[in-house]
Amino acid sequence: MRKLIVSAVLAAIAACSACCAKDYDRYGLYGVGHPAGGYLLSSPQGYDDMVWRRIAEAGATSVRQAASWREIEAVKGTYDWTQIEDTLKYCRKYPQIRPYLLIVNTPGWARADGQPSHLPPMPSAIPDFRKFCRALAQRYKGYADHFEVWNEQNGFGWEVPPYNQFDKYLPLLEAAYEGLKEGNPECVVSLGGLDDADGHSPIFAKGCYDLRAKDYGSRAMWDAFGDHPYRETESMMAKLRAIKGIAAAYGDCNLEMWLTEYGFHTGEMSEEEQAKRLTDYMTTLITDPEFRYVTETNYLCVADFEETTHGFGLCDANLRPRPAFWAYQRLPRPGRIVISDIAVRNVSPTSVELTFATDADARCTVQLGNAAGKLDKSIGAEEKPTKQHSASITGLSPNTTYHYVISATAPGLPAAQTLDYDLTTLAETGVRNPGFEGGFVVEIAKQWDCLGDNLCWDSARLSSPFNLMHSGKHAQCIVANGGWGDGLDDAVAGQASAVSGVKYTLTAWTQAVDEGKKGSIERKIGIDPTGGRDPKSANVIWSEPSKTLGKWEKQSVSAVARASVITVFAHARSIDKDEGRDFFYVDDVELK
């Protein structure tokens, strides 16, 4: 029987394909969601700006954004658009990102219980919902033209149990569809993204089509179907085929599909496996003509937003990219040049090397200057078109920040250009930003790296009594939460110019604090005389470790440089972890 059903579905799809050859708009196929864990870091200044910067760096062409009725019309008849403008401003800043607006949430006055909620409105408020949808579409006509109506209405986005209440959802969808089309006849409206666990989506899809035919005369109520097909590629393909087959059976040949949530959790797999599954999933959708009707996807989140060190994010909560971030950046984009994997290497006081890749043989140019928008130096990366690129930049000043943009051209393709990036040369002597007073970016001190899974903090932003520093107003801190995660195993790392064969001595003030007072933390500092950046490398020469808690100590280590650049580390490891937080502080680093 199952084989007969599958055969019937495939036959319906084939028949539809034979008579319908829609040219789908797939611009929004590369979507990345903007949820991120700023609250885990007490929302540092500039966090949202960096979240959207990462979304743009990943190469996103769309983003799913809430248009929350609950916030916009908190007072009946009065529209306050602040909630949506707070996110749409970033799509204007990065105009290559198309907004897909998720209409969701209910104001208290539209609920029988009088409470603002993520659940649906009472039936008597549906006409007001229609008015809201019309006003929304009118306001953003020509800018935001894609709308999704509710979220997981077959599951926990509705009042359950029972699940799959399509009979109660369709009146809401009908009102939204009519209101949106009145406000903008050219807009595209999707049924809300479905909770796809345990095969729920096809059940809800068939229920909607059956009821539309029975009670609504099969009139238009959606242009696209939203779904949330998590898990592996094969599962996603099966779910798409099932929903598309149902639509085809009802003659809905040109149905678009929006995958408005999907993702891979690093708590269930390695970061490398996350990147591999993401690449396989998206490459299938991009390159397999069977799935050309998938016109939008939205990776769940650019960064972790859960209380865990292992989440769905392409980045962690400090916005440090994972392998999946770079995998997303290098996804195939037919008809375009993809510039990816930008890295700053071989930094010295007066020179750097930039390496990067393109997915087509291309000629590339690096434009460089002392400020964004003022790039007065041009460097050709190579003479012949290639996919692997390297540009050596000389004549720079020590300990100076420069901005750069990479451009690429290839025959038959439009020119490509990156965002504005920056780099900083090494100081002539010593480490850069030695006292951590030179500023932080998403809680990581400028010119330093934090290596490991745990949250990084500017110590000054921690609450008392944990806002510690040895001198000045700031120190770099790494915090491991005792309730989740595996404790400290993290390093603070920086690089410095050196003369091969010369002996260097590194000193740093460090401290460890165990909030629960039942654990043990070991800390040490080290030098990699070869300039390597891996604290686990056998090349690193370490100081004697200390297990003293709650006290600043000056640690010291010496090594003979074996290269023109050396790397310095401060490392901490939780030996006995309890339920309290573990803190590791680094301040006043000196290299002589």
- Does the pLDDT at position 19 exceed 60? no
**Res. 565 pLDDT band, cuts 50 70 90:** very high
- Compute the residue count for the chain: 592
Mean pLDDT (whole number) for 107-133? 97
Where exactly are the structural domains of the chain?
2-329, 354-424, 440-591
* Residues 506-524 as b or e (16 or more Cβ within 10 Å = b): bbbbbbbbbbeeebbbebb
**Res. 21 pLDDT band, cuts 50 70 90:** low
440-591 domain in CATH 2.60.120.260? yes
pLDDT in tens, 281-302: 999 999 999 999 999 999 999 9
pLDDT in tens, 80-98: 999 999 999 999 999 999 9
21-25, 276-280, 367-371, 549-553, range with the lowest pLDDT: 21-25
φ, ψ dihedrals at 260, nearest 5°: -80, 0
- Does the pLDDT at position 12 exceed 80? no
Q: State the Cα–Cα distance between residues 141 and 186, nearest whole angstrom.
A: 9
Q: State the Cα–Cα distance between residues 322 and 314, nearest whole angstrom.
A: 6
DSSP code for 314: S
Mean pLDDT (whole number) for 228-247? 95
Mean pLDDT (whole number) for 36-53? 95
Mean pLDDT (whole number) for 519-526? 95
Indicate left, alpha or beta for 142 from its phi (over 0: left) and psi (-120 to 50: alpha).
left
- Does the pLDDT at position 8 exceed 50? no
At residue 518, the pLDDT reads 85
- Does the pLDDT at position 424 exceed 60? yes
The fraction of the chain above a pLDDT of 90, given in percent, is 89
At residue 6, the pLDDT reads 46
- Does the pLDDT at position 1 exceed 60? no
At residue 380, the pLDDT reads 87
- The answer to whether the beta carbons of residues 25 and 301 sit under 8 Å apart is no
Task: Give me the residue label for tokens 């891996």.
Answer: 534
14-28, 247-261, 522-536, range with the lowest pLDDT: 14-28
At residue 484, the pLDDT reads 80
Residue type, 331: L
Structure tokens belonging to residue 154? 């077959």
SS3 439: coil
Mean pLDDT (whole number) for 46-54? 97
At residue 10, the pLDDT reads 53
- List all residues 6 or more positions away from 357 whose beta carbon is below 8 Å from its beta carbon: 330, 339, 340, 341, 387, 388, 389
Structure tokens belonging to residue 570? 């401060």
How far does Cα 284 stand from its chain's mean position?
21
**Runs of H (alpha helix) within 216-297:** 233-249, 271-287
Closest CA to 570 of 488, 462, 487, 484: 488
For the ranges 258-262, 374-378, 381-385, the maximum mean pLDDT occurs at: 258-262
Q: How many CB atoms lie within 10 A of CB 171?
A: 15
CA torsion angle for 436, 426, 314, 357 (degrees, to 10)? 170
Would you identify the CATH topology of the domain 2-329?
Answer: TIM Barrel (3.20.20)
Q: State the Cα–Cα distance between residues 457 and 467, nearest whole angstrom.
A: 10
Q: State the Cα–Cα distance between residues 529 and 539, nearest whole angstrom.
A: 7
Q: State the Cα–Cα distance between residues 571 and 535, nearest whole angstrom.
A: 8
Higher pLDDT, 282 or 161: 282
pLDDT in tens, 453-505: 999 999 999 999 999 999 999 999 999 988 787 899 999 999 999 999 999 99
- Does the pLDDT at position 144 exceed 70? yes
**Res. 237 pLDDT band, cuts 50 70 90:** very high
Would you identify the CATH topology of the domain 354-424?
Answer: Immunoglobulin-like (2.60.40)
pLDDT in tens, 317-327: 999 999 999 99
Mean pLDDT (whole number) for 71-82? 98
Rounded to whole angstroms, what are the CA distances from 90 to 19, 273, 336? 41, 31, 23
